[in-house]
Homo-oligomer: A and B are copies of this chain.
Amino acid sequence: MDPIERLTNLFVKFPGIGPRQAGRFVQYLLRSSPALRRELTEAIRELSGSVKQCTRCFRFSAADGKVCATCANPARDVFTLAVVASDADLAALERSGTYRGLYFVLGGTISLASEKMEGLRLKQLLDSLPSRIERGLSEVILAFPANPEGDATAMRVREELDRGLPSDTHIKVTALGRGLSTGSELEYADSDTIAQALGNRH
């Protein structure tokens, strides 16, 4: 196959990229300097080399050891564990600047079609809890998206935690607050959001 076509087909697999933008990426690279193209191939190769999945929270990062910088950071509070669906959601919580606890990346949400937990790291989460509890864990925050998949995932994780944890452990399991998101007007809010905002008034 033509190298232009071949590279276009690879870019089409990128999230959110259609054939037209894929073609523009290739044109951009064609017009770029050989040095930039070399830098790009090296940066991609480096992902394979130096990026590892943290053995504790399962996010990807370029940490030196087996554990990512956040998990290794003694300043993070060990009392709360936020269970998130993806690295991107973890990054969103970090960006908010208010969370100081630890993370666990579940690896996705339940697909409503299959209701399967397949590929989600539920066993790894449960296995990690005893040692986390020993170190002080007292709250698991289910930080999933506010959609049916996220809700179904939260329900299943709650069930598994109820079943999997020794009955004498007193871990609080919480979920992110629902309600009006910043900037939203009542007039245009959907009824479910308003019902949640009323239910969670304080």
Please list the residues of chain A having a beta carbon within 8 angstroms of any beta carbon in chain B: 2-4, 6-7, 10, 13-16, 21, 23-31, 34, 36-41, 43-51, 60-62, 84-89, 91-93, 95-99, 141, 143-147, 174-202
Contacts and interface: CB of A to CB of B under 8 A. Distances in A.
A25 B29 contact: no
8 contacts: A23-B88, A41-B41, A89-B186, A99-B198, A143-B198, A174-B202, A177-B179, A181-B189
Contacts of A183: 146-147, 190
Contact of A178 (B143, B146, B197): B197
A138 to B, nearest CB: 13
Given A2-B62, A4-B60, A179-B200, A44 B41 contact: yes
Contact of A191 (B15, B96, B175, B185): B96
B174 A193 contact: no
Chain copies in the assembly?
A: 4
B3 A47 contact: yes
Contacts of A16: 21, 24
A91 to B, nearest CB: 7
Contacts of A13: 28, 36
Contacts of A93: 186, 194, 198
B30 A25 contact: no
B185 A62 contact: no
A185 B147 contact: yes
